[in-house]
Amino acid sequence: MYLYELHMHTLEGSKCAHSSIHDMIRRYKEIGFTGAVVTNHFTGGNTSVDKDLPWDQLVEEFCACYYEGLKTAKDLDFDLLFGVEQGYARGKEALVYGIEPEFLLEHPELRAADLPTWSKVVRGAGGFIAFAHPFRTKPYIPWPMPMPDMLDLVDGFEGYNRSNTPLENQEAMTRLSPTGLIAIAGSDWHDTNFDDANGVVLEHRVHTTRELAKVLKAGEFELKK
């Protein structure tokens, strides 16, 4: 069985993160994970990249840590996959899998796109979108919604987020499981100060984010929570 983290931040791409892509990979390897998706905050969130840069340069700088991390991942026989966490309203974010950096370059309309646009573009290309921590309650979320909106625009939801409270995760599973959306799990770690992590358990390794998206869509995994 192979363990994969689905929600990981690094200081190169997320202002709120404190550890480098190299250190995060090493830490996950140490605790027995096979791979992880780097899901740094993009233009709709707390990204480290200047949002006013020309699109090509913005995407290049955003994706640089992924390409840099591939070197360490290869040395450690670790599957580093590309992903995005994109905010579409204050405190509301989505996790995107199944697209590569080249895909972002081809779609500059995503810079300030709403969730319907992200859904159309990403899912149209075979990608997978999930609500991130859908029932999180924080000071920066002044209007927690009783239910996340636009359920038809996503494939799944983060039922177990390690950075959430148990009650927040329970709310997600109770409210969203009956909708037919696919429950996933991730940690939302921003530094290496952890001894365990959430994720998914796969029966075989995946080496690209496209392969991961297919596995998630098919529900061919177990949750590690």
Q: What is the mean pLDDT of residues 154-167?
A: 97
91 pLDDT band (50/70/90 cuts)?
confident
Residue 138 has a pLDDT of 86
CA distance 36 to 205: 11
Q: Enter the pTM of the model.
A: 0.96
137 pLDDT band (50/70/90 cuts)?
confident
Mean pLDDT for all residues in the chain? 95
pLDDT digits (tens, 9 = 90+) for 7-53: 999 999 999 999 999 999 999 999 999 999 999 999 999 999 999 99
Residue 142 has a pLDDT of 63
pLDDT digits (tens, 9 = 90+) for 98-117: 999 999 999 999 999 999 99
Residue 147 has a pLDDT of 57
Spell 6-31 as b/e; 16+ CB within 10 A means b: bbbbbbbbbeebebbbbebbbbbbee
Q: What is the mean pLDDT of residues 119-134?
A: 96
Beta bridge partners of 36: 5, 80
CA distance 8 to 21: 9
Residue 16 has a pLDDT of 96
Q: How far apart are the first and last CA of the chain?
A: 15
Share of the chain above pLDDT 90, in %: 91
Q: What is the mean pLDDT of residues 54-72?
A: 98
Boundaries of every domain in the chain: 2-224
Tokens of 176: 């969203």
Residue 202 has a pLDDT of 98
146 pLDDT band (50/70/90 cuts)?
low
Q: Three-state SS for 11?
A: coil
Its sign, for the CA torsion 221, 29, 213, 2, is negative
User: DSSP code of 108?
Assistant: G
pLDDT digits (tens, 9 = 90+) for 209-222: 999 999 999 999 99
- What is the β-pairing status of strands 199-202 and 222-224? antiparallel
Residue 150 has a pLDDT of 77
Residue 149 has a pLDDT of 65
CATH homologous superfamily of 2-224 equals: Metal-dependent hydrolases (3.20.20.140)
Q: Are 213 and 98 in contact (CB under 8 A)?
A: yes
Residue 143 has pLDDT above 70, yes or no: no
